[in-house]
Amino acid sequence: MEAYATNSSRVATPMENPKTYRVLIKASARHAICFRCPVKFKIAPRNEDNNMSDQTLNKKRIAFLATDGFEQVELTKPWDAIKSAGAEVVLVSPKDGKIQGMNHDEKADQFTVDQNVSNVSAEDFDGLVLPGGVANPDTLRTCETSVSFIRDFFKQHKPVAAICHGPWTLIEADVVRGRRVTSWPSLKTDLKNAGAEWVDEECVCDEGLVTSRNPDDLPAFCDKAIEEFAEGKHAAQTV
């Protein structure tokens, strides 16, 4: 990952024409932030042969928890990126059959559920992704089986990535207290009331918990989620 300055202290090399690229910088011993700034970096795109290995997540199993009303691109983009990195990806839902994706307020495609959440546990996976959409997390947070499934990832110190309205379910699971997070702006008050420190940043990582604001943040969100899933368990990722 020559293009990124991260908390593993990899150093980028310069090139002639500066462009704007995503940079991951260690903000403190506990937190990391992701943002874009003009830098002169040699870029190694993730899906080219000279990038980080396509098997970064080899033998990892990542769950995507969603139900009707999820924002489609917030599932498909991370799904493709994580699968390309070598992981097995599994669509988990409290609903059997197919679930309805959304493109903002309009119906998009339907997706076949791989496993009902009542038939799996956090022990079966190495990480969890929570797509957004308004109806999706609003329904999930009323499903105790789904909420318990999410909470167990934190109890087992496993990385979790939530984008846009996805952190709504984290509030119900009571796992954001004392954590630094971001989200869709309308969740700011809810997250702060639940004990979180809310910030308006493209991508925030707090000990294995990755959060982003909206679909525009997906490139940073996917990169950081893959990095955290590759690192595995985080001792401070707990409740």
Show which residues are catalytic: 164
213: left (phi over 0), alpha (psi -120 to 50) or beta: alpha
Give the containing element (helix H, strand E) for 61: strand 61-65
Asked whether 148 and 117 are in contact (CB, 8 A), the reply is no
Token reading at 87: 């992981």
Q: What letter does residue 199 receive in the DSSP assignment? A: -
Tokens 């999410």, residue located:
150
The CA distance from 191 to 1, in Å, is 33
Distance CA 149, CA 161 (A): 14
